[in-house]
Amino acid sequence: MAKTVIAVFSNEQVAKEAVEDLRRAGFEREISILAKDQGREGGDQEGGLNMGADTGGISDGVTTGGVLGGLAGLAAGAGALVIPGIGPLIAAGPIAGLLSGAATGGVAGGLIDWGIPEAEGREYENEIRQGKMLVSVRCDDQRADQANKILKDHGADRVRIH
């Protein structure tokens, strides 16, 4: 059975180091990253959803966020999307596809598909709105404990397995 390990980080560099350690441990396509795109704050796309495979080089690790761009470059399928009420986001990994169809339900609505209760999804949504980063790993039961340990060892604000 698949599990989702979600960590919230306040510091971009610490989140990047955690993702790098996850990759060294053999996690690749399972890693997702979600964060507010501070460089496009207040842009004219606030009211709609815009999902693109290439948003000015995010997949190359170049974006207005600097470190955040490097962070997004560590996961597959980086892109940008705009969710009403939150604004522009950078999403990388499986979460990008999950949220691309969740414009009306926001982040919380998209996370329900991964077994995360809506109330908890709203907490994650609020943390992203406040500028924090979400790093998640979708994997089997055996690997979930390993991902959980790596994320905790990096001092995530909060880590949960769902």
Mean pLDDT of 123-150: 93
Alpha-carbon gap, residue 43 to 89, rounded angstroms: 11
For the chain, give the mean pLDDT: 76
State whether residue 149 is helix, strand or coil.
Answer: helix
Residue 102 backbone phi and psi in degrees, to 5: -115, 35
Identify the pLDDT of residue 76.
Answer: 53
Asked whether 150 and 30 are in contact (CB, 8 A), the reply is no
pTM of the entire predicted model: 0.76
Residue 3 has pLDDT above 80, yes or no: yes
**Nearest alpha-carbon partner for 68 in 111, 44, 38:** 38
**Nearest alpha-carbon partner for 107 in 80, 92, 130, 89:** 89
Asked whether 144 and 5 are in contact (CB, 8 A), the reply is yes
Question: DSSP secondary structure string, 53-108?
Answer: S-SSSGGGT-STTTHHHHHHTTSSS-EEEEETTTEEEEEESHHHHHHHT-TTTHHH
Higher pLDDT, 97 or 35: 35
Higher pLDDT, 132 or 96: 132
135 token code pair: 């790093």
